[in-house]
Amino acid sequence: MIYSTEETFPKEKLEKLQIKRLKETVSRVYNNVPFYQKKFKELGILPEDIKSIEDISKLPFTKKQDLRDNYPFGLFAVSQDAVVRVHSSSGTTGKPTVVGYTKSDMDMWNEVMARVYTMAGVTSEDLVHNAYGYGLFTGGLGFHYGAEKVGATIVPSSGGFTSRQLLLMKDFKATVLAATPSFALHMAEKAKSEGYDLKKDFKLKCGLFGAEPTSPGLKKEVSEVWGIDYFEIYGLSEIIGPGVSSSCTCSDELHIFEDHFYPEIIDPKSGEVLPYGQKGELVITSLTKQALPIIRYRTGDITSLNPTPCRCGRTHIKMKSIMGRADDMLIVNGVNVFPSQVEHVLSQVSGITLNYQIIADKKGYLDSLEIMVEVNEDMPLDNLGELEKLQKNIQGELLNNLYINAKIKLVEPRTIERSMGKAVRVVDKRNL
C-alpha cells in the first residue's frame, strides 16, 4: 500500500518539487531568521543564488548547538501566534533544543507518519499500542496522530508500568506495537517472567521501532521473540520528530520522504558532500517546515544513501540503518568503536541478551574498555567455569571483528540501567 502519490514521483518530477520548495525555504529563513541572514551574508549568498538542487551545497550547515545558542525561539521563522505546539529535548547536555510547529507543520507531520503506518500495512482495522513516551519528547505524540490519520485505534500507553502495558496489549488484542527496540525486549522479558506465552497470548502482527540505533542482530531478536514483522522508523525533533524515513515490506533500508526532507551525506570532518553509497554523516534540509525551517542540519547520524527505486513502488531515496552517531563514536586507544558494531558482535554469541553497556575509562595513560552484558535467564551465574568460557568467547569475537580489547563483565538479567525505555549504551568516564 502507498499513502501519497508523491512517494512514487519520477526523479525529474520530484526534483522540480524539491527545488521549488528549497527556494521557498531559503527565502523564508533569510527574511525571517536573523541567524540565517547573518550566515548567508558571511558566505556571500543571497536567496536568488539558489537556482538548482545542487546549489544546496552553497548553503551553511546548522548544528544542534545553534539551536541552543538561539534558545528558546531564536530560529523560529513565524510569530508565536502561528505556533500551535512546542516540543523540547531534555537538555541533559546543555540548554534544551526547542522546536515549534504551525498548523501546516502538524498536517505535514501527520501526513508523513501516515505514510509510515501504511508502509507497515497498518489500516483502520488495527489497534496500535503506543509505548513511546508522551510529553516534550516527540515520539509519543508523533506516533499517536499518525495512527489516527490512517484511522487505526490508538492506545496511548506511554512508557513504564510494563505489567499494565502487557495486560492491555493482551486484553485489547493489539495488532501493532510502537516502542523503542530496547523497551520491546524489556516487555518480552517481563512477559516471560509473568508467565505469558508471547506467540499465543498476544495478537501482534508488526512493530514500529525507532529512537535508538539498532544492529541487525537486535532487530532479529525483537522480531523473533514477539513473532512480528519489524519496521524501522527514523526521525529527530529538530527536523520534525519520527517520520523522516521508514522501512517498508520490501527493504530493510529506510525511505526518506524527499518531498519534505532533502538528504545529503558528508564527511564528518571536512564537510565535503559524499557520493551515493559512501558512509558518512547524514545532513537534512527541511523543505516544507514553516515554524522552524532547518538548513543543512548535521544530524550526527552515520549512514549512507541508495537512490535505487524500491520494489514496493516508492521512488524516494533510501538510507541504511543508522550505525551510530558521530558524537557517540568512541575512540579507544586509536580504534573507532560504535555501540551498534559491538551490538552486532554480541548478537552472534549465544547465552547472552542484547542488553549491554559500554564503559570507557582511563588506566594510567591508556584507555580501558569494559562491557557489561546481561546473560540469558537460563544461564547459571554460579557456574564459574561456564561464565569464564563465555567471557573469553565474547572477548575473542570483539578482538577478531573490531580489533578492540575489552574486559567483559557478565551480569544478571534486567540489571543494566535503562532510561525512559532506552538502554543507556555508553558511559564515558574519561572526561569526568
Write out pLDDT tens, residues 152-176. Answer: 999 999 988 999 999 999 999 999 9
Predicted pLDDT at 92 = 38
Band (365; pLDDT cuts 50, 70, 90): confident
Band (379; pLDDT cuts 50, 70, 90): confident
Residues 74 and 97 in one domain: yes
Model pLDDT for residues 70-83, shown as the tens digit of each residue: 999 999 999 999 99
Band (432; pLDDT cuts 50, 70, 90): low
Residues 232 and 284 in one domain: yes
Predicted pLDDT at 334 = 74
Q: Please name every residue paired with 335 in a beta bridge, in sequence order, or none if there are none.
A: 332
Angle at 52 between CA 49 and CA 58, to 5 degrees: 55
Band (421; pLDDT cuts 50, 70, 90): low
Distance CA 14, CA 8 (A): 9
Band (91; pLDDT cuts 50, 70, 90): very low
- Closest among 296, 256, 299, 305 to 278, alpha carbons compared: 305
Boundary residue ending a domain (291, 326, 361): 326
Residues 8 and 138 in one domain: yes
Band (104; pLDDT cuts 50, 70, 90): very high
Residues 399 and 266 in one domain: no
Residues 52 and 166 in one domain: yes
Distances (CA, A) of 289 to 26, 108, 185: 11, 8, 35
**Among 4-13, 214-223, 225-234, 415-424, the least confident range:** 415-424
Band (366; pLDDT cuts 50, 70, 90): confident
Residues 192 and 283 in one domain: yes
Identify the residue whose cell numbers are 492506545: 155
Residues 178 and 312 in one domain: yes
Distances (CA, A) of 23 to 18, 52, 256, 282: 9, 9, 20, 21
As a whole-number percent, the residues of the chain with pLDDT over 70 amount to 97
Residues 321 and 336 in one domain: no
Give the pTM.
0.85
Distance CA 431, CA 184 (A): 32
Boundary residue ending a domain (294, 311, 326): 326
Predicted pLDDT at 315 = 97
The three cell numbers locating residue 407: 574486559
- Closest among 334, 263, 274 to 299, alpha carbons compared: 263
Distances (CA, A) of 93 to 69, 337, 411: 13, 21, 29
Q: What is the CATH number of the domain that holds 376?
A: 3.30.300.30
Task: Classify 284 as helix, strand or coil.
Answer: strand
Q: What is the CATH number of the domain that holds 295?
A: 3.40.50.12780
Predicted pLDDT at 420 = 58
Residues 283 and 336 in one domain: no
> Does residue 179 surpass a pLDDT of 50?
yes
- Closest among 51, 16, 32 to 290, alpha carbons compared: 32
Residues 37 and 12 in one domain: yes
> Does residue 302 surpass a pLDDT of 50?
yes
Name the pairing type of β-strands 206-209 and 229-236.
Answer: parallel
- Closest among 292, 269, 267 to 282, alpha carbons compared: 267
> Does residue 147 surpass a pLDDT of 80?
yes
The three cell numbers locating residue 28: 523564508
Domain of residue 289: give its range: 1-326
Mean of the per-residue pLDDT values of the chain: 93
Q: How many domains does the chain have?
A: 2
> Does residue 383 surpass a pLDDT of 90?
no
Residues 310 and 376 in one domain: no
Residues 248 and 266 in one domain: yes
Before 181, cis peptide (omega within 30)?
no
Q: Are 418 and 186 in contact (CB under 8 A)?
A: yes
Q: What mean pLDDT do residues 119-128 have?
A: 98
Predicted pLDDT at 94 = 54
Boundary residue ending a domain (277, 309, 326): 326
Identify the residue whose cell numbers are 575509562: 361
